[in-house]
Amino acid sequence: MRVACLGGGPAGLYFAISMKLRDPAHEVAVFERNRPDDTFGWGVVFSDQTVENLMANDPVSGKIVQDEFAHWDDIDVHIHGQTIRSSGHGFIGIGRKRLLTILQERARELGVELHFEHEASPDLDDWRDYDLVIAADGANSRIRTRYEEHFGVDIQTRRNKFFWFGTHQVFDAFTFAFEKTKAGWVWAHAYRFDDDFSTFIVEMEPETWEGLGLDRMDQPEAIVFCEELFAKYLGGHSLMSNAAHLKGPDAWLNFRRIICDNWSYRNLILLGDAAHTAHFSIGSGTKLALEDAIKLAEVLNRPGLLREQALEEYQAERNLEVLKLQNSARNSTEWFETLGRYLHFEPIQFAYSLLTRSQRVSHENLRLRDKAWLEGVERWFQSRAVGAPVDDPAPPMFAPYRLREMELTNRVVVSPMAMYSAQDGTPNDFHLVHYGTRAQGGAGLVYTEMTCISPTGRITPGCPGMYTPQHRDAWKRIVDFVHAHGDAKFCLQLGHSGPKGSTKVGWEGYDVPLASGNWPVMAASDIPWSSGNQSPIPMTRADMTIVRNQFVAAVEMAREAGFDMIELHAAHGYLLSSFITPLTNKRTDEYGGSLENRLRFPLEVFRAMRAAWPNEKPMSVRISANDWMGDLGITPDDAVEIARAFWEEGVDLVDVSAGQTWADCKPVYGRMFQTPFADQIRNEARVSTMAVGNIYETDHVNSILAAGRADLVALARPHLIDPMWTLRAAAGHDYRGIRVPPPYLGGQAQLTRNLQREQEAALTA
């Protein structure tokens, strides 16, 4: 096969090597516009895993790379005059120039033709003598741009400015240094890559860059500015630029995130940065380029595979890995872009948040890396929770939390879940057993399902209510049981179904109207939930007063029933949510239009409920923090304003859910997928939040809490199937501070022993 590689960066060279290794008969030529030792950039970092992959593919170059790598384990975070050092992170670094020299020599040795100072034509016709043309010409690939429409290219230019410097200061740890200036924060990512060189990337928000006048400075001036700002880390060494060809402020770059739907067109194949990029803060661009190269060479040489099939396999196999990395890279990029959220954290929590920013590293990963450090974090978290120093570390999920006078023994919450099992709104023995069991399962707080304030405010005929004395008494029986048999506190979620009412019970079809006996529904405007649902009647002011008073009456009954807490359900497209989202609120009066107007009725309801609820008892509000409809609906930025508005009315906790407000919305699901909204609201509005949504492992819960992304964590589906979820988590951590119902102590002890044995076996395996 005759192959032309356009671009002699890591991707092009390593692909050429990998082809020749598999079949020396291939004729492979690399065309690079620069001279062999001209290169931008300083050092690159890899993980140990990448080096293993290189060794497996080509032990000869792999060994040289392995021998020359600078290896280090520690990460230092310098913030607010403190240095937080953690260990066990296992990085390796090498100079980009050195890496390319090793690859060039190896390619030559294997018979690859290397053409330097050769500007490759972006026209495929000029490569008609080759069977395959590899676009390995980097993020700004000319040939990809030339055939853009065939690749489905999506390029996002990120907002922060960065400059990739080198320095002779040798850092003994991967270093993140944050410095405050008159125009905002500026930070450096620095790491050693050989005996006397380090990479030193300086990054900041564009507003800071302009505020400091860096947008008007030439390179030497900008370098002096950075050297002075980071003098205490540079030990007298200077910063060096190798972007001399870029004029003035142009040396400051913005990262460009590239995704392509298709990685090949005719005989042209995209490789490395030309196909996809990963932000420098997760140090994976070169890894992607090298691993792409290995996979492409492998599929092209797999016996019996036609070229089209090989290319399909190349993309299918690499795409998953690339998506995972780009996902982590996006989290990491966003963390640095929204740094302002985390600057009020104490240094130890700031460092934890930084280390877990990509969501690839979790609480338990950190324990494996540096147990002593993680236990320090756990002690710190517990001591802040109890307001006094503590000696013993314990996972953050087992830290107490206080809302007004209500003391929770831990941070795990049973999320509200409709059971559709009431008759005429009255909870029964099913509810007693259901809530009673979950209240004994160890969670600090148990929510009821949405409990409705009127018969027509129910979602389904099976929904419970709080609108008759009979309901109150039936709930009181359950509340009394919960209080008599454990430490859990009990929160009543109150809501009105609005446009999503008069439907079948969940397992007969979600949001499907009743076969008969439907009742009229109301909402902010006459927009039906879907074409199959009723058109709601827009509420009049008189309707609003009735509904508000029904909420207050329900609160009074909740007080008589002895609930510890109340939540107002203002999410998921139900009545109050239909006012908040612009997708379903088309009113032209003072209850429609601006967010302030759309919040007017929900806030009026909340205010009236708060006035009727004892001052010492807390209240939460559940909101949909994202309609998943872009700017047409509620965005997470709007959610920050919504949370602030409820906070000013005295809400104690914002329960941050998302979606279910528009039938055709496009949620982006995934592990902990709504937690970023709880994080944004908590740390921008500075209010207490509860995270929920696809959180199912103790590791998730501990990571969220320790990183300050939420104050409480709710789990719904995991509690459907395992009411004892928190007791099981306590057993897994050998945590003895949790109350176990006395009759169940033997089971808890056995589970603790068995899980410990499992963990020991896994460690020795």
Ligand X SMILES: Cc1cc2nc3c(=O)[nH]c(=O)nc-3n(C[C@H](O)[C@H](O)[C@H](O)COP(=O)(O)OP(=O)(O)OC[C@H]3O[C@@H](n4cnc5c(N)ncnc54)[C@H](O)[C@@H]3O)c2cc1C
Residues that bind ligand X (CB under 6 A): 6-12, 31-34, 41, 44-45, 119-120, 136-138, 142, 164, 201, 272-274, 280, 283-287, 289
How many CB atoms sit inside 10 A of residue 76's CB? 18
Q: Is 269 in the site for ligand FMN (CB under 6 A)?
A: no
503 lies in the binding site for ligand FMN (CB under 6 A): no
For the CA atoms of 249, 251, 253, 259, what is the dihedral angle to 10 degrees? 140
- Residue 657 touches ligand FMN, criterion: CB under 6 A: yes
- Measured from the CB atom, is 107 or 716 closer to ligand X? 107
- Residue 203 has phi, psi (to 5 degrees) of -135, 150
Smallest gap from residue 693 Cβ to ligand FMN (A): 5
Does the protein bind ligand FMN through residue 310 (CB under 6 A)? no
- Could you write out the three-class secondary structure of 284-318? CHHHHHHHHHHHHHHHHCCCCCCHHHHHHHHHHHH
| Phi, psi (rounded to 5 degrees) for 491 | -115, 130
Query: Do 701 and 412 meet the contact criterion of CB atoms below 8 Å apart?
Result: yes
**How far is it, in rounded angstroms, from Cα 125 to Cα 131?**
12
Residue number, 300 or 716, with CB nearest to ligand FMN: 716
CB of 609 to ligand FMN, least distance (A): 16
Beta-carbon count within 10 A of 197 CB:
21
Number of Cβ atoms within 10 Å of the Cβ of 727: 24
x-marked contacts with ligand FMN along 704-723 as a string, rule CB under 6 A:
-----------xxxx-----
If binding is defined by CB under 6 A, does position 692 make contact with ligand FMN? yes
Beta carbon nearer to ligand X, 138 or 457: 138
C-beta of 272 vs 465, nearer to ligand FMN: 465
Q: Which does 450 bind (CB under 5 to 8 A by kind): ligand X, ligand FMN, none?
A: ligand FMN
The answer to whether residue 574 is catalytic is: yes
Distance between CA 79 and CA 620 in Å, rounded? 34
The C-alpha angle 299, 303, 309, rounded to 5 degrees, equals 50
Q: Tokens in use for 698? A: 């103790």
CA angle in degrees (0–180, nearest 5) for 759-764-765: 95
Q: Kindly tell me which of 142 and 622 has the beta carbon lying closer to ligand X.
A: 142
415 binds, among ligand FMN, ligand X, none (CB under 5 to 8 A by kind): ligand FMN
Which one of 51-59, 188-196, 469-477, 687-695 is the stretch in contact with ligand FMN (CB under 6 A)? 687-695
**Which of 283-291, 549-557, 690-698, 728-736 is the region at the interface with ligand FMN (rule: CB under 6 A)?**
690-698
The burial class, CB within 10 Å (0-12 / 13-18 / 19+), for 427 is buried
Beta bridge partners of 619: 566
Measured CA to CA, the distance from residue 13 to residue 205 in angstroms comes to 35
Minimal distance, residue 366 CB to ligand X, in Å: 21
Q: Compute the Cα dihedral for 627, 507, 479, 752 and give only its sign.
A: negative
450 binds ligand FMN (CB under 6 A): yes
3-state secondary structure of 231: helix
Q: Which does 142 bind (CB under 5 to 8 A by kind): ligand FMN, ligand X, none?
A: ligand X
Smallest gap, in angstroms, from Cβ of residue 59 to ligand X? 21
Binding residue for ligand FMN, selected from 694, 739, 751, 756, defined by CB under 6 A: 694
Q: Please, how many CA atoms are within 13 Å of residue 26, restricted to the half-sphere of its CB?
A: 25
Choose the contact partner of 715 out of ligand FMN, ligand X, none; CB within 5 to 8 A by kind: ligand FMN
> Is residue 417 a contact residue for ligand FMN (CB under 6 A)?
yes
Question: What CA–CA distance (Å, rounded) separates 619 from 169?
Answer: 54
How many CA atoms lie within 13 Å of 441's alpha carbon, on the beta-carbon side?
26
Beta bridge partners of 161: 204
Q: Judged by CB under 6 A, which stretch of 104-112, 192-200, 337-345, 410-418 contacts ligand FMN? A: 410-418
Nearest Cα neighbor of 458 from 428, 418, 516 is 418
CB of 511 to ligand X, least distance (A): 46
Min CB(95)–ligand X separation in Å? 11
Nearer to ligand X, 139 or 755 (CB): 139
416 binds, among ligand FMN, ligand X, none (CB under 5 to 8 A by kind): ligand FMN
The entry of ligand FMN, ligand X, none near residue 431 (CB within 5 to 8 angstroms by kind) is none
Q: Which of residues 453-472 bind ligand FMN (CB under 6 A)?
A: none
Amino acid at 230: F
Tokens of 60: 């000869």
Rounded to a whole number of angstroms, the minimum distance from the CB of residue 666 to ligand FMN is: 17
Minimum Å distance from CB 496 to ligand FMN?
12
Q: How far is the CB of 713 from ligand FMN (least distance, A)?
A: 9
Element at 764 (helix H, strand E):
helix 745-764
Residue with tokens 């060479």: 297
The option from ligand X, ligand FMN, none interacting with 136 (CB < 5 to 8 A, set by class) reads ligand X
Structure tokens at 660: 């279910």
Residue number closest to ligand FMN, CB atom: 716
Which alpha helices (DSSP H) does 215-283 contain, by range?
219-229, 231-234
Residue 534 binds ligand FMN (CB under 6 A): no
Query: Which residue in the list 574, 669, 696, 735 is annotated as catalytic?
Result: 574
Residue from 286, 415, 497, 502 that binds ligand FMN (CB under 6 A)? 415
Q: Which of 622, 682, 709, 733 binds ligand FMN (CB under 6 A)?
A: 622
In terms of Cβ atoms closer than 10 Å to its own Cβ (0-12, 13-18, 19+), residue 383 is: middle
Binding residues (CB under 6 A) for ligand FMN: these are 415-418, 449-450, 493, 569, 622, 657, 692-695, 715-718
Residues with catalytic function? 574
